[in-house]
Structure 1
Amino acid sequence: MNRRSFTLTAMALAAFGLAACNDKPAASSAAPAEAAAPVKKSAQEAYEAAQRAAGFSVGPVMAANTVYVFFDPACPHCAQLWANARPLHNQLKMVWIPLGWLRPSSGPQSATILAAEDPAAAMEENERLVLERKGGITANQGVSDEIKDKIKANTDLFNELGAESVPLIVYRHAQTGQYGMHSGAVDAATLRAMIGL
C-alpha cells in the first residue's frame, strides 16, 4: 500500500469511527483487569425495552414499521441522523428516546425536549443549534420531576442495554422481521435499506 492510499484509508477509518458519540474514556493500562464489560442485550430485547421508554414520535401514527432511536441532545451525530431521517418521516414512525448521557446539560435539555408542547419542533431547534455548534436549546428549569424521572429511566435503560454510543437505532426489518441495532448516524438510503422499506 502506498503512502497516499494508507493516509486516505486512515482518514476514512477515522471518519467512520466518528459516526457516533460515546462518554467512555479510552481504555487505560492502569484499569483493573477484573472490571467486567457490560452485558449487551440482544436486538430483540433492546426493541422490546425501547417500546417501554419515554419518547416522542415523528411520522405516521399507524405506520407498519417503528424505529426507536436513543439520542443525547449534545450529540452531533444524533443531530445528523435527525436531519438525514427527515425524508422518511412520511413513510416511517420513528420514536426518539432522549437521554441524559453525554454531558451534565444533556438531562435538562432532554427533559426540555420531552416536555415541550411540540417535542419534534423542540428537537428540530436543538439539532439545528448542535449542528451549528451552538450547544443546543436552553434548558427549561421549570420541567416537572415526572419528566426528569422519565429521562433518568431512559438513561438507565440505555445503560442496561450495554450500549456504548449514541445515536442507537433499534429496529425490526419490515420484510424479514429480524431485529437489529446500529450505533451511529446513517444517511436516509442506508436507514431505508437497514429497516427494509
Structure 2
Amino acid sequence: MLTAPLLHAQDWPEPIKAVEARGAEIIQRFDAPSGLQGYAARYNGQGVALYLTDDGEHVLVGSLLNAKGEDLSQQPLDKLVYEPLGKEMLSKLERSTWIADGSPKAPRIIYMISDPNCPYCNMFWKQARPWVEAGDVQLRHVLVGMLRQDSVAKAAALLNAKDQQAALHEHESAGKASKLQGLKKIPDTIQQQLDSNLNLMTEMGVSATPAIFYPDENGQLRQQQGAPRPDVLNLIMGSRP
C-alpha cells in the first residue's frame, strides 16, 4: 500500500509537528522502508518528503534513494501532493480571467500567465504557432501587469477589446513593433480581474512570466518557467509540429 491511514493533525508525532511549526502543511503518512515512517508535506507550493526514524525521535527531510539510486520519495509525493495540488491549480486557472488563443475544439489546453510587455511570453507565443494554427492546442493567456509601468493598462486594453483574441493576435504578432495602447481609465471590473490574476500568480509561487501550465503524459499538471527549449516545447505541446 502506498498510503497509511490519514491522521489528524493533533496525532502527528512531535518531530513532524516541529516541521509543521516551521510552515509545512502535513498532508498524509505513507509507508517507507527500513523502519521509517514517511510523511508527505507541502512547503511553499512544493512537495516535501519527511521520514520519521524508528524511535520516533527524529525526522529526516528530503529524498530517499535505494541501492539503485531510485528516488523512493517521488511516487508518494506525486500521489499525495502533486496530483491533488495540480487539480486545485487547474481549477483556479480555469476560473481565472484569460484570453483564448486558438480553437475552442483544440484537444489540448495550455495556460500561460503572461504580461503584455514580456518578450519571453511573445517568444513562446511564436513557438506555439504551428500547434495553435493546426487546431491542436489552445493557449489561454492569464494576463497580469507587473513588468513595466504601463503593463496593467496594456493588459486592461486587451481584456477591454471587442475581439479579445484578435487584439491579442495583433499585439503578439507585431512583437516589439506592437502599437497596443494602454487604457487611460481602467474599469473597476477589469482591474479586479487583473488583481485576481496577479494574486493567483503569487499563490502559485510564480515570480516571473511566462509561467506555462500544461498536462504531462499522465494528465498531471506541470509548470514551465520561461520560454522552453525545443525539446521541452514538444513535451508542453504534446507532440511535434
Equivalenced residue count is: 157
> Is 1:196–2:234 an aligned residue pair?
no
Greater relative contact order, per chain length (Cα 8 Å cut-off, separation 6+): 1
Q: 1:84 to 1:131 in 2, by over 3 A?
A: farther
- TM-score, normalization by structure 1: 0.70
Contact 2:137 2:237 in 1 (8 A): no
Q: 1:193 to 1:130 in 2, by over 3 A?
A: same
- CA deviation after TM superposition for structure 1 residue 122, in Å: 1.8
C-alpha distance in 2 between matches for 1:127 and 1:48: 27
User: Of the two, which has the highest radius of gyration?
Assistant: 2
Q: 1:186 is matched with which residue? A: 228
Which runs of no fewer than 5 residues in structure 1 stay unpaired? 1-37
Q: 1:120 to 1:192 in 2, by over 3 A?
A: farther
2:156 to 102, 105, 111: 111
Secondary structure, aligned partner of 1:51: helix
How do 1:1-197 and structure 2 match up within 5 A? 39-40=44-45, 44=86, 45-89=88-132, 90-132=135-177, 137-173=180-216, 175-186=217-228, 190-197=232-239
C-alpha distance in 1 between matches for 2:142 and 2:102: 15
Output the amino acid matched with 1:114: L
Contact 2:131 2:237 in 1 (8 A): no
Mean Cα deviation higher: 110-119 or 186-195:
186-195
- CA deviation after TM superposition for structure 1 residue 94, in Å: 1.4
C-alpha distance in 2 between matches for 1:153 and 1:75: 19
Which runs of no fewer than 5 residues in structure 2 stay unpaired? 1-42, 47-81
- TM-score, normalization by structure 2: 0.58
- CA deviation after TM superposition for structure 1 residue 75, in Å: 0.7
Output the amino acid matched with 1:47: L
Contact 1:87 1:188 in 2 (8 A): no
**Which structure features the higher share of strand residues?**
2
Output the amino acid matched with 1:186: P
- CA deviation after TM superposition for structure 1 residue 163, in Å: 0.7
